Amino acid sequence: MSAAITVLDVGGTHIRQAWWLREGELRARTSRPSPSFKRFPGTTVAELQAMMVRELCDAVAETRDAVVGISFGAALDHRSGTVYASAPLWGGHSEPYSLRAALTSRRPDVHWHIVNDVTAALLHAAAAPSRSRHRKVLLATVSSGIACRVMDQRQGLIPVDICGLQGEIGHLPAHAELAGRPVELDCDCGRTGHLSAYASGPGLARMAEVLQQRAPERWAASRLGLLTTGGTEFEPSLRRALDEDDDLAVELLDAATAPVAAVLRTALCLDPEIDEAVLTGGVVHGLGHHYRRALMGHLTRQGLYLTSDRSPDWLEQRITVSGPGEADSLAGAGIAACSGVPA
């Protein structure tokens, strides 16, 4: 294997690329748009998959014994390189697709290593010295999609089920309310009422549309409404409105984080060996401290039975937000390419 490994992080919006050095350093980072169904409406899934294969293969220089680590934003079995579904990339399509076989067919000169993007982020986060004594680490990403993984640090394992999956929480049934009434929204996978439908980046934007429809006068008078009406994009508008303590923006974020808090509450109730739950992803980082504050508000008001009363800071100590570079899927793709995935 060469000293440097090409690493790629494929998301629903962008493909990031870099060189991963075996000493643990990333160099020459670049980013470009992903070929997704939203970017190319009307394109078939087969055409999008072929575009993705060309994109990834063309990104790798023709060198002897090239090694590539790919962090791929999809429900996939890293043991076989089979992708089951990627709502941000391919919408509701869920026919298994052997990505590794397709890449190998086009570029047989390359050693391909493919892992889920959350697995990659967890591999990097769990490698931090500060987490070396943890029993288990949970990492959840909230971005164009939502998922999580749990790693047993004592055994160095990320357990998977018969399909090679774990932690696809974005497609669990969820409940959300706005303006005092339940909300029913469609997920990018095509089904109604999934966690991602309310709490992912696109889900949060759809929740804002519902709130605008249900409370048009409040929306028009709010800082969030004024910013979006003035032409500012939704995400920066929401962050600015939260910075200014806009009541409507706070209400919106509170509604979107409620189902995420419910999943974390359940996970920590069922597995008290999880010593840290790390939050990452574009939504979490984009909204900064506002996101964690909204999440912890739910967990403070309704925590774990008895534990939250007898040890009020138990949850507070376990839920953290990753800092810059702490849970980098590019770095995790490099770790996976060097040593494999512990499953």
Amino acid present at 290: H
DSSP state of 281: S
Count of Cβ atoms closer than 10 Å to residue 177 Cβ: 13
Q: Domain ranges for the chain, please list them.
A: 4-123+327-339, 129-321
pLDDT at residue number 1: 44
Alpha helices in the chain (DSSP H): 45-58, 87-90, 99-106, 117-126, 195-199, 201-214, 216-221, 223-229, 234-243, 247-270, 282-287, 289-301, 307-310, 314-318, 329-339
Architecture of domain 129-321: 2-Layer Sandwich (3.30)
Say which amino acid occupies 321.
V
Fold agreement between 4-123+327-339 and 129-321: yes
Predicted local distance difference test score (pLDDT) of residue 12: 87
Tell me which residue of 89, 7, 8, 6 sits closest to 49, measured CA to CA: 89
- Alpha-carbon torsion (205, 206, 211, 212), positive or negative: positive
Q: For 4-123+327-339, which CATH superfamily applies?
A: ATPase, nucleotide binding domain (3.30.420.40)
Q: Say if CB 59 and CB 44 are below 8 A apart.
A: no
Residue type, 66: A
Q: What is the pLDDT of residues 231-244, one digit of tens each?
A: 999 999 999 999 99
Instruction: Say what the pLDDT of residue 92 is.
Output: 87
Instruction: Report pLDDT for 189.
Output: 86
pLDDT by residue (tens digit) across 182-223?
A: 999 999 888 999 999 999 999 999 999 999 999 999 999 999
Q: What residue ranges of the chain have pLDDT lower than 70?
A: 1-3, 342-343
